[in-house]
Structure 1
Amino acid sequence: MPKVIDHEQRKRELAHAVVAVASEHGLHAATLRAVAERSGHSMGSVQHSFPTRDDMLHFVLRYVQERRGERIRDAVSALRNPTPFRVIEEIVDAVMSDDATNLRFERVRGMFLAAALHDPATAELLRGGPGLVVSMLTGLLDGARAQGVVRPDVDPRIAAETLWTLLDAVPSTVLLGQRTHADARRLLAGALDALRVDGTTPA
């Protein structure tokens, strides 16, 4: 019987190797050959999955974004009482996690942001995700406002845009050493507190 190859699984394995190489040595070091050596796959297998380095990197960028989405979904699904404001807090916690895996992925995501300045294809891939997250946050904030947890004068769309801008930018300041992780968490906690009706608890 010929061996059945799960090509999507192999691509994910290669994506993990790219993340590992890039987080240690920079995105420029993630060549097809370096990824083959790191993953244990042959050069031919890597080229079968990704004919060019650009193909590989664009897949990895989508994979990094999907992993962030999966982390958020897993955190939210674990909530016993998933009310709108609790869901928002869980999203913040998931993005701001300081575990080694999350930090590695955030470091590589920052490298793609830098690459997007001179690579239109990378820039296009990065443009798609935020709109969906902002729409979700807008709906959650609207629900929390209807419950009397978020101040009635808060515009859910503007607040969602502001919150996601912080979540998108603050992890990079931690990686650059501009602020500690604890300071970053306090900054996000303050942003959430500013939305709440005084004296309310998340509902």
Structure 2
Amino acid sequence: MPRQVDHEERRRLIAAAVCHLADERGLEGVTLRDVAARAQVSMGAVQRCFATKEEMLVFALGYVGERIGERVRARLVRSPAQSAASALGHAATEVALLRAEHRAEARVWLAFVAQAAVSPPLAATLRANYAALQEAFAHLIAEAGGGAGLAAPQDPGREARAVLALADGLTTHVLIGHLAPEEAEEVLHAHLRRLWEGPAGGAG
């Protein structure tokens, strides 16, 4: 058992090294040799943990996705005083990675998204992450609709896809300087407010 724990810890250490390098130079600049040096392990140790570079990248994507997911889940654990609509706003803001302390994470996430366009295993991992987020958002939208005087959107799943796509797209707009984080957050929350306006959430 201790040996298995050490193996998993090493895999996470290597994943962290991949993320640091991806932040500095993009995934195209990530080599096994550089990862080993950054993680302060041997090349052999990296190869024992991951059979291929692609396997290593898939694990690293899961590693950064889990970090984001942990923050989202923490936002979804609501106190009695927090409404579903409020929880949705907080969770969507976490997904958008708008805060300054998450800027490096945003760069890494977008590097993986770009690589996923030519890597089916990375694309599959991203689809699974997005599907889980979309399901959580749809549940919150359905729960919030009709409560506290809010109109209920006709199709929570469709609205969840829109919120997720908007939050994800805002990451890029902030990262390249097209929008300030405060502007992006206002765009996101203005969209969320419109979900509850008018009959059927303004769907007509």
Equivalent position SS for 1:194: helix
Q: Distance in 2 between matches of 1:128 and 1:191?
A: 25
> How far has the Cα of 1:166 moved from its partner?
0.6
Q: Give 1:109's aligned residue.
A: 109
Superposed CA RMSD in Å reads 2.1
Q: Distance in 2 between matches of 1:71 and 1:153?
A: 26
Asked if 1 retains the 8 angstrom alpha-carbon contact of 2:115 and 2:122, the reply is yes
> How far has the Cα of 1:110 moved from its partner?
0.8
* Aligned CA distance change for structure 1 residues 185 and 12 (closer, same or farther; 3 Å): same
**Structure having the larger proportion of residues in helix:** 2
Q: TM-score, normalization: structure 2?
A: 0.86
Q: Give 1:130's aligned residue.
A: 130
Asked if 2 retains the 8 angstrom alpha-carbon contact of 1:154 and 1:195, the reply is no
User: Gaps spanning 5+ residues in structure 2: where?
Assistant: 199-204
Q: TM-score, normalization: structure 1?
A: 0.86
> How far has the Cα of 1:47 moved from its partner?
1.3
Q: Distance in 2 between matches of 1:191 and 1:114?
A: 26
Asked if 2 retains the 8 angstrom alpha-carbon contact of 1:13 and 1:39, the reply is yes
Q: Distance in 1 between matches of 2:72 and 2:140?
A: 14
> How far has the Cα of 1:188 moved from its partner?
0.5
> How far has the Cα of 1:111 moved from its partner?
1.1
Amino acid in structure 2 at the alignment position of 1:45: A
**Percent of aligned positions that are identical:** 31
Q: How many residues align?
A: 195
User: Gaps spanning 5+ residues in structure 1: where?
Assistant: 199-203
* Aligned CA distance change for structure 1 residues 50 and 152 (closer, same or farther; 3 Å): closer
Q: Aligned runs of 1:87-102 on 2, under 5 Å?
A: 87-96=87-96, 97-100=98-101, 102=102
Asked if 1 retains the 8 angstrom alpha-carbon contact of 2:153 and 2:159, the reply is no
Aligned: 1:69 with 2:69 = yes
Asked if 1 retains the 8 angstrom alpha-carbon contact of 2:93 and 2:167, the reply is no
Asked if 2 retains the 8 angstrom alpha-carbon contact of 1:141 and 1:150, the reply is no
Q: Give 1:185's aligned residue.
A: 185
